[in-house]
Amino acid sequence: MAAVVLGGAVGGTPRDDYDVPGTASQAGTELLRERFPGLSGTEARVVVHNPAGGQLDPALLDRVVDALRAVDQVGVAGPAQPSADGDTAIIDVRYTVPVTDLGADAMDQVRAATGAARDAGLQVEYAGQVPEGEPTEGGLGELVGVLVALVILIIAFGSVLAAGLPIVAALVGLGIGSSGILLLAAVTQVSTTSPSAAAMVGLGVGIDYALLLVTRHVEGLRAGLAPQAAAARATATAGRSVLVAGATVLLSLLGLILSGLAAYRTYGFATAIVVATAVAAAVTLVPALCAVCGRRIVRRGRLDVTEPQRPPLTARWAARVGRRPAVWAVLALAVLLLLGAPALTMRTWPQDAGSQPTENTVRRAYDLIAAEFGPGAYAPLVVAVDLAKVPQDSVPALQDRIAAVPGVATVSEPLLSPDATAAVLTVQLEFSPQDERSGELVDQLRAETLPAGAEITGVTAVFVDIADLLAERLWLVVGVVVGLSLLLLTVVFRSILVPVKAALVNLLSVAAAYGVLTMVFQWGWGGQLLGVDHPVPVSTWVPLLLFAVLFGLSMDYEVFLLSRIREEWLATGDPFQSVVRGLAATARTITAAALIMVVVFAGFMTNADIVTKMIGVGLATAVALDATIVRMVLVPASMMLFGRANWWLPGWLDRLLPHLGRRGSAELDDPADAAPATEETASLEPAASR
């Protein structure tokens, strides 16, 4: 409660930051800030349209322009630019500060200033960085996802009390984490989509971690332990898995620091805050609630453990995979590679108003501008010319050279800075910002047309630079995250092969998610079901963020499964039985946890923001594949193929690495302390003995 109150009292407001240090577009932006103070800040555009088709009243437009000029921190507004038929006009609004320095009521002031046009019965829409930076509201899907998760938990546990504990713990962790994000926004820039992405991940992992602890607690109760002892045992065993799993997620998220963009750093920090609070809630609040609830957490009659007449389904499935592990491994690999293949054709673009839902004002503004002024008019290029390096008398010739480039629609007359040391040309392209040809044209102008001292900036040029930067940094982030995860898992599981396999299969899951994103959004397969009315490129923001989150989440299930398999391996030394018992003991929990996470992530597909939709699709797809194809087929098949080699570690490395327990188990200090086997850990004879 204190965190929520503090976040509400002194927390900041998320804002998008379009600065990309070290790029050509940033050089142009800095020149504008230095020489054109009135044009140096962020921008908004007001689009006024007469639905009846008649010409707009110039006097009314002048009143709107005057009202916009009176808005706080506006440096330049207008004049209104009418369309050829006069029924539509664009009013450009330039602020003197970047979007991160605007007040939370910036758009409210713009809406109030344009009230006269709405009162006259005209359609008024808003475009530009200011309205695009407004946080989007989540859809009902998020709430529905939580309710469905509760139903799944009730079915899994047969008890409303047991089902409610993971939900409560996850919501408490999410509430504290969300307050932490607001506090972070008070001291640094936090992008507008960061809270949604963090909530998506935090809610999913929060339920998962709490579910693992509650499941292990219930096992202890069924084994005859007192509630307090069962809660302590769950914390000592499953709690360690939660800590290791949470650490892998945090390592993956902190890899975003290497992206080179402030927006990505805040993505990583914001999501890490929520994940950290989810872990803390799981290992503290959940055991406490379990102990308080006593035996009421399990429905009467479910505490009795009877010897099953036959092994459970998950154990029988593990044995089936073990009979032909090579065949199953090849089939699983084929499915993942087939789904991942479309990713080879993936084209990325940061974001575009034209891909937003039609109920969004920036999308309606985009459609009006494209229809009345041309597809390239929504985000024109801005050429900033330093007249100390480019003679002023050569600017008209530069204007002509730019206009002669194929794909350029119009070039404005040069505008001189107040001190006559710089000039600005506005260049409208024939293509929409997300059109692949726009990026190519920006590169061509920079390489072949512009002299030294002239830089292209504007949203389209900034997005070109962002796409290039993230494409370069992706492999750095992948290498660092995979390397750190390998080191952590080597310490935890005392193995060389197990961490390497874990990294490879997790990368396959990520590639499959990329392939599905490409099919749904870029190819348009089923996109309309998500409210995307035409094919769009995959947002440049998504692949790197998805990798960091998915690699961590995949490691969650890897840790849950391998911890139990290693526990059985240390107790029996049987490579086959350890896989069978480990899968049998964790399969239901992993399946329920994955189903819950898929439902939660799918709920975010209803969010109005296209980037959030993509993240929801990617996360839901990867988790579903990871919990089925990977954990139920590929991992057990590969472990049965390699047998004892799974747990080989050179003696010198074993002595060098720190030990987490007396026998190196991530789950238990001593496997002999484990709870007695239940029906889910019933043994099967190895295939060779049958």
In angstroms, the CA 584 to CA 682 distance is 8
pLDDT of residue 190: 78
Chain center to CA of 528: 21
Is the pLDDT reported for residue 65 higher than 80? yes
Pair 76, 135: CB distance under 8 Å: no
pLDDT in tens, 17-49: 667 788 889 899 889 888 887 666 788 899 999
Pair 609, 352: CB distance under 8 Å: no
What DSSP string describes 358-421?
TTSHHHHHHHHHHHHH-TEEEEEEEEEEETTTS-GGGHHHHHHHHHTSTTEEEEPPPEE-TTSS
Pair 14, 135: CB distance under 8 Å: yes
What DSSP string describes 591-635?
HHHHHHHHHHHHHGGGSSSHHHHHHHHHHHHHHHHIIIIIIIIIH
Chain center to CA of 517: 13
pLDDT of residue 670: 37
In angstroms, the CA 137 to CA 14 distance is 13
pLDDT of residue 62: 94
Max mean pLDDT among 95-99, 399-403, 606-610 falls in 399-403
In angstroms, the CA 144 to CA 151 distance is 11
The pTM of this model reads 0.79
pLDDT of residue 245: 81
Angle at the Cα of 628 (from 626 to 633), degrees rounded to 5? 100
In angstroms, the CA 684 to CA 581 distance is 8
pLDDT of residue 9: 62
pLDDT of residue 675: 40
Pair 355, 532: CB distance under 8 Å: yes
Mean pLDDT of 76-92: 92
User: Which residues contact residue 414 at a Cβ distance below 8 angstroms, ignoring those fewer than 6 apart?
Assistant: 385, 395, 396, 399, 423, 424, 425
Is the pLDDT reported for residue 304 higher than 70? no
Q: Which residue in the block uniquely carries the two structure tokens 């119009």? A: 410
pLDDT of residue 10: 64
pLDDT of residue 605: 83
Mean pLDDT of 304-313: 58
The conformation of residue 102, written as its DSSP 8-state character, comes to S
Higher per-residue confidence, 672 vs 109: 109
Higher per-residue confidence, 683 vs 161: 161
Mean pLDDT of 95-116: 86
pLDDT of residue 5: 63
Pair 122, 56: CB distance under 8 Å: yes
Higher per-residue confidence, 529 vs 673: 529
Give the pLDDT band of residue 78 (cuts 50, 70, 90).
confident
pLDDT in tens, 172-217: 988 898 888 888 877 777 777 788 778 888 888 888 888 888 888 9
Is the pLDDT reported for residue 292 higher than 50? yes
Average pLDDT, the chain: 84
Q: Which two structure tokens, joined as six digits, stand for 393?
A: 């008398």
* Number of residues written out for the chain: 690
Max mean pLDDT among 356-360, 525-529, 593-597 falls in 525-529
Give the pLDDT band of residue 136 (cuts 50, 70, 90).
low
pLDDT of residue 357: 80
Mean pLDDT of 619-629: 88
Mean pLDDT of 527-547: 86
Sign of the alpha-carbon dihedral angle for 151, 154, 155, 156: positive
pLDDT of residue 394: 93
pLDDT of residue 183: 85
Cis peptide before 406 (omega within 30 of 0): no
pLDDT of residue 549: 81
In angstroms, the CA 424 to CA 406 distance is 21
Is the pLDDT reported for residue 689 higher than 70? no
In angstroms, the CA 353 to CA 129 distance is 10
Q: Among candidates 527, 532, 504, 538, which has minimal Cα distance to 615?
A: 538
pLDDT in tens, 313-357: 777 888 888 889 999 999 999 999 999 999 999 988 877 788 788
In angstroms, the CA 74 to CA 85 distance is 29
Helix (H, G, I), strand (E, B) or coil at 33: helix
Mean pLDDT of 590-594: 80
